[in-house]
Amino acid sequence: MIRALMFIGFSLFVAAAASGQPNILFINIDDLNNFPAEYYPDLDTPNIDRLASMGVAFKNAHSPVPACNPSRVALLMGKHPDNTGIVLNSQYDFRTESPILTNAASLPQHFKNSGYRIVGAGKLFHSPNDDAPNTVWDFYTMSIGGSSYDTFTPHPENGLSGLMNTDPDGIMGSIPNYRDFGHYENGDPVDRTTSTPDYARAAWGVTQIQDAGTQTQPMFVSVGLYRPHLPHYCPKRFFDLLPDPITDVPHLTNDLEDILDPMGWSSYDADLKFASIRDGVDYPNQHARAYVACVAFVDELLGMMLDAVDASPEDWVTILWGDHGFHLGEKDRWLKFTLWDRGTRTTLIMSGPGIPEGVETYAAVSLLDLYPTLIDYAGLGPPGHTLDGLSLRRHIDGSPVSDVVKLLWDEKDERYEAYKSEEWTYIVNTALNSEELYDKTFDPNEWDNLADDPQYDDVKSWLVPEPDVGTGLLLGALAICLVQARMHRARSSME
């Protein structure tokens, strides 16, 4: 694509446009876990599948911190939470709380500084006040089609249908409204799809894609879809696509009892809300069904934007990402906020010029890598601050690379760290001297904690970086090959 040179004098953005830089379609889906149709057998996601067929699907992508705010800050600022200290949802004001971020350019801001026109609708940063939406962006709105976070709107006019129908005895206690679920219509026969905020955001995205050819600058278009974030409301027809009940998620009784500290105490408690209802009549399955229905809903909205990309004469690099995973009862947990794969693993797909079609990789990657990846594919220079990730091009163009990514979480004021590779999850809490090791090749649900078995000491020492090296991406290819050969020998001895 060569854009017309319309305004020769405006060198910055004319230079960017003339260079053939692609437009960027940057779609995030809140709380979307890892390629959900591969995990929930009753769900189809034809448009996630379609985008994957158009590009590269990262099947083992992890959030640096399994919560909205710190995950998005890490991704959008390109800085690991180890280096920023931003690990909590409450750290909204990250530029004040983390001095190294105070004057750093966010990913969209760097695109603007490099000649792009940047526009956005829906959630991107966790706080609507972050990233100075009125000054940094050429256009940005959180609230298109509804309230800022779409937490309660549009909502059935007659109340909270989900919980009211499934919790007649009040066993959920003081569950806040945002944990409710149900369908928007709540008995009304008229489909509500086009009146939902997420539909409005997707439709706005379609308009931006269609209008991109009229712009003199390349476009960076951010669309944030809020479902399947709580409350799990979507149009009824997406519930109707699913059996009732749906297939239960994998759950192992007493799964947490092999994760002990040296005193023999369990390192984790069950989520209290889940513990209180796990033996209830059908609430866990009904709530899981609502999450899955919401995924089907946003998949359709994704399809609207992919149709527009297909019809566009412009070049588009399209990126779909979620901000972390989501538990629906696995390991006695709801929501995110864990370092197990169900908490950290999300959907990441890239397609566009120079990106091969229909490729999937199971190498462990971090959302932290998206900032350097996008400036790489757009041909931009580096921002003024050091980025902690690496371009994903190494997984797209080069030989397969085996990475280790480091993730963080704080639970009960204790710092947990996780090291994830294609095959392994290693979670450590230094203060409690608690550790977990899972061999995901044979144990994809992370049920069997191998950390106490000395035959895996090599694996643990491979996964945990040397203290003076930093995080992730730490070993050369030769070292990785040698250690993986040892791991395979170790496993062969078990079989």
Q: Which positions touch Ca ion (CB under 5 A)? A: 30-31, 68, 255, 258, 323, 447
User: In whole angstroms, how close is the CB of 382 to Ca ion at the nearest point?
Assistant: 28
Q: H or E segment at 482?
A: helix 477-494
- Please provide the distance, in angstroms rounded to a whole number, between the alpha carbons at the two ends of the chain: 54
Least distance in angstroms from the C-beta of 138 to Ca ion: 25
Cβ-proximal residue to Ca ion, closest one: 68
Nearest approach in angstroms of CB 63 to Ca ion is: 9
User: Least CB distance from residue 69 to Ca ion, whole Å?
Assistant: 9
CB 229 to Ca ion: min, Å: 6
**Which is closer to Ca ion, CB of 39 or CB of 447?**
447
For 201-265, the DSSP string reads HHHHHHHHHHHGGG-SS-EEEEEEE-TTSSSEEE-HHHHHTS-SSPPPPP--TTGGGG-B-TTS-
Q: What angle do CA 362, 302, 371 make, to 5 degrees?
A: 55
Q: Given the complex with Ca ion, which of 332 and 403 has the nearer CB atom?
A: 332
CB-nearer residue toward Ca ion: 29 or 355: 29
Nearer to Ca ion, 362 or 447 (CB): 447
Separation between Cα atoms, residue 34 and residue 42, nearest integer Å: 15
Residue closer to Ca ion by CB (options 255, 271) is 255
**Nearest-5° angle of CA 391, CA 394, CA 366?**
50
Hey, how many other C-beta atoms are within 10 angstroms of the C-beta on 49? Answer: 16
Rounded CA-CA distance 456/323 in Å is 31
Write down the least CB distance from residue 449 to Ca ion, Å.
5
Quote the tokens at residue 162.
Answer: 């989900």
**C-beta of 441: minimal distance to Ca ion in Å?**
17
**Residue with Cβ nearer Ca ion (255 or 300):** 255
The candidate with the shortest Cα–Cα distance to 303, out of 232, 231, 203, is: 203
Rank residues 323 and 388 by Cβ distance to Ca ion and give the closer one: 323
Instruction: List residues bridging with 181 in a β-sheet.
Output: 232
Least Å distance between CB 417 and Ca ion? 19
Name the β-bridge partners of 121.
141, 223
Q: Which is nearer to Ca ion, 180 or 323 (CB)?
A: 323
Cβ–Cβ < 8 Å for 26, 221: yes
Q: Which structure tokens are listed for 213? A: 């050819």
Gap between the Cα atoms of 295 and 286, Å rounded: 14
